[in-house]
Structure 1
């Protein structure tokens, strides 16, 4: 038994004395006497009492929020923030690395502006397909295992893309990498939020979102260090391995290490375990949380049970109607799409429509502009305008990519670091103001900033307003991350985030394609469109409910 937990009743899920306790990990043996079947989830809770042996005291049964508050807040949550933050940063590195390699990779892969638009869109296309699928699986099978698998796919195929000889192979591998990112981005926030006490949830999710900035800075710093360097340019057989390929390999390391950490150290979400009726495992996770939070004290965890959902059993295979292949496929599709139907029915309909619009607009605007910032800044340096004319753009594209100019990577690093004030601001006031007000106001201000970027004439002015846009827009992302975890119940949390991030990827794809098609001929159109969409999304956010300090359902 873990020190300080002798008072936990065996009847409510304490771990047998013969089982070795991990330090941070919640990996426990899955008892054969559990009534739940892994992966089955109910959309209701059971409050019925649990039978106890005669003469055995009946412990108090806690709700999820009561159990989280009982375990305290401290070292466990700080360690969880670092690990989940590293995973969030790895997703940012994998997504944004493409924008940093474009100025040099376009020569080696012989890319036109349209090709560059397809390349930046490919990872978002993968995220679009992966987002809902991974989110659905996380709601059915558990958060942690989905994170391990999706992070592995992300890192593995991202690294393999470094040896792709041609554009189309590179495009395919980046698409598969994006499919993995599509799982880790929405699920990491669901997972993290389900360990947080409600009075600290807003600030902690904002802190988790801050690691996206850390990943952005890491990607920009690696690009600045590696791509212009001569030491990173070598050959392997007939394959020329320029520095940007080394950069791609290094960008895959964070995802692989995150997958290893999740697979070996971290427990499953206690909220998910309670929802599917796995009481013993959920209590063990709370025990681990309490042990780490109360480290160095002599406090003991009080005896308690949990109010959990009732596990739903599957029908035996022999009793299932077989039917034709088409009928079986139809049943699978209906089951898979059931969460989407729930999102747009009843009390959830209005907020889901609003979230649909907001995710599309913010993704079209942010990613459509952000992925092209290095290229636009490069054009400003050459043409004294973010929208150089067609003939000048053609001359720029015909220039040699080598030697690599370091200014564009320095500017990317500055842009990434400009997120810091917005992140700090969000962490400090999220729990007092709430996500709704921050989301609406920051989106409107972001739209104004984009309009100003179009009007500037010098590189310094453009970089300044781009930094302001970066610092303001990150507040929108932090706010929407908080709202996404609080607007929907546990049984729909990951599915809803997966679905809406998928919608956002459609917007990101269209934004990148629009820039790729119009940046040479009339880039004023996509820039002003971005401004209008961001401002419109800010107005739509006003119809969302206030979720400040809301309990997770």
Structure 2
């Protein structure tokens, strides 16, 4: 493990890399949210059934399940830099093609491929960022990646609202194609981003690792310092290592808390207008779109206090208390399905604000809990597992609202969130201030004292 990187000063290089890596989360938030607005015009134009709407809403999430598991392993094998722009090119092509399609199966297929590309970006970009960051800034900057997700979601609703006002629901094709513009912007920003020195050293390219550290951090580093712990050499890599004790528990924790969080969350963002309509939100699709956009904005705002708390209070207490409090507004709406639209909007905004804790830890935890040789694999697997819940929730939510009603649907969401609380109480570890991917022998339990990185004196 590299103390030089862990204790390096925070520079413009880190800021630029963090911005470049935020492209994947921002595009994910935009792509998954814009379809919720586009469906208001797509449904009457194409004569979509409820099942068709569910399929289109869930297709990208199923693609993310496949892409996360597949490309996480590939990223650990062939490197972060190799795939850093290819996934954005795929997003550009799929976004442009979305403008021309009419068949439900074609739209669902493009959304599936988009989901694969977005999921590929998570293990690539977050692993690359984590392996370059100083330890004092790691939690904040990894957490800020989810801020980019909500920024993308808010931008999607603002864009969708503008299209609705200027061109009406028939502009849904332009909405789906608009993500190509963002992809091109981040293709430019990512030019020149370097490979991870930790990955280079772990794969025998110590000289290249030393060179990129000197080039981008302006300091000399001993190549041996970048090498993995000798005790970890020779272990089986990839998915097999994730399933060995104690990584098995860490793998289950990262996947399950992520799943329990995003199942209700993605369903809410994808079908926010429909949920608010079920509570009697007046004003038609424009008002419902604005209401969902407000909820997305509150999701974004809730991340900021959480970013501070994970570095002052700690990762474990933040995630436990967040899940506990997130359950309350969902349970309230489940018990009171006839609540006025204003109360429902307020309760959903409260839920959105309280989601800040798990949100900023979604990628922080898997990047901090696993070593370099399986870090991207762990992020990919956690993303894939989470998208099972997101896909199921997104597919079932419109069916549940129609078949079971608003109250039972909200109670199911509350129960899923309560399960996430239980997972965190049992398995959440404290990784604040620890060396990246500290040995599990050091951090064997949720309350264990972890291996701290000494901070440079001032």
TM-score clears 0.5: yes
Deviation at 1:340, TM superposition (A): 2.2
1:548 aligns with one of 426, 432, 439: 432
1:243 aligns with one of 149, 163, 171: 171
Deviation at 1:309, TM superposition (A): 4.1
1:373-388 to structure 2, matched below 5 A, reads 373-381=272-280
Q: Which has the larger radius of gyration?
A: 1
1:469 aligns with one of 348, 351, 355: 351
Deviation at 1:65, TM superposition (A): 2.6
What is residue 495 of structure 1 aligned with on the other side?
377
Q: Hey, what's the Cα distance between the residues in 2 that align with 1:309 and 1:338? A: 16
What is residue 268 of structure 1 aligned with on the other side?
195
Deviation at 1:277, TM superposition (A): 2.1
Q: Hey, what's the Cα distance between the residues in 1 that align with 2:372 and 2:221? A: 25
1 or 2, which has the higher helix percentage? 2
Q: TM-score, normalised by structure 1?
A: 0.73
Q: Hey, what's the Cα distance between the residues in 2 that align with 1:139 and 1:146? A: 11
1:69-148 to structure 2, matched below 5 A, reads 69-70=7-8, 72-148=9-85
Residues 1:453 and 2:339 are matched in the alignment? no
What is residue 103 of structure 2 aligned with on the other side?
166
What is residue 214 of structure 2 aligned with on the other side?
287
Q: Hey, what's the Cα distance between the residues in 2 that align with 1:442 and 1:152? A: 36
What is residue 64 of structure 1 aligned with on the other side?
2
Q: Hey, what's the Cα distance between the residues in 1 that align with 2:409 and 2:343? A: 19
Contact 1:364 1:504 in 2 (8 A): yes
Contact 2:153 2:296 in 1 (8 A): yes
Q: Give the SS at the match of 1:550.
A: coil
Deviation at 1:94, TM superposition (A): 1.3
Q: Hey, what's the Cα distance between the residues in 1 that align with 2:93 and 2:34? A: 15
Contact 1:344 1:353 in 2 (8 A): no
1:378-457 to structure 2, matched below 5 A, reads 378-381=277-280, 405-454=285-334, 455=336, 457=339
Deviation at 1:356, TM superposition (A): 3.3
Deviation at 1:357, TM superposition (A): 2.5
Q: Hey, what's the Cα distance between the residues in 2 that align with 1:67 and 1:360? A: 32
2:87 aligns with one of 126, 132, 150: 150
Deviation at 1:122, TM superposition (A): 0.4
User: Which segments of 5 or more consecutive residues in structure 2 lack a partner in the other structure?
Assistant: 229-235, 438-458
Q: Hey, what's the Cα distance between the residues in 1 that align with 2:20 and 2:347? A: 33
Contact 1:283 1:306 in 2 (8 A): no
Give deviations 1:430-471, integer Å, cap 9, x for gaps.
112222221121112112121223325211111111111111
Q: Hey, what's the Cα distance between the residues in 1 that align with 2:5 and 2:352? A: 38
Contact 1:147 1:183 in 2 (8 A): no
User: Which segments of 5 or more consecutive residues in structure 1 lack a partner in the other structure?
Assistant: 1-62, 234-241, 292-300, 311-336, 385-402
What is residue 361 of structure 2 aligned with on the other side?
479
Deviation at 1:129, TM superposition (A): 0.8
Q: Hey, what's the Cα distance between the residues in 2 that align with 1:451 and 1:283? A: 53
Contact 2:84 2:121 in 1 (8 A): yes
Moved more, 151-160 or 459-468: 151-160
Deviation at 1:511, TM superposition (A): 1.0
Q: 1:87 to 1:503 in 2, by over 3 A?
A: closer
Q: TM-score, normalised by structure 2?
A: 0.87
Residues 1:525 and 2:408 are matched in the alignment? yes
Contact 1:364 1:508 in 2 (8 A): yes
Give deviations 1:167-224, integer Å, cap 9, x for gaps.
2211111111111112013332212111111122111212222111211111111011
Give deviations 1:231-260, integer Å, cap 9, x for gaps.
x78xxxxxxxx3111111112321233234
Q: Hey, what's the Cα distance between the residues in 1 that align with 2:321 and 2:411? A: 19
What is residue 202 of structure 1 aligned with on the other side?
139
Deviation at 1:533, TM superposition (A): 1.2
Deviation at 1:305, TM superposition (A): 4.0
Q: 1:308 to 1:201 in 2, by over 3 A?
A: closer
Contact 2:5 2:134 in 1 (8 A): no
Q: Hey, what's the Cα distance between the residues in 2 that align with 1:255 and 1:452? A: 39
CA RMSD of superposed structures (Å): 2.3
What is residue 370 of structure 1 aligned with on the other side?
269
Q: 1:186 to 1:442 in 2, by over 3 A?
A: farther
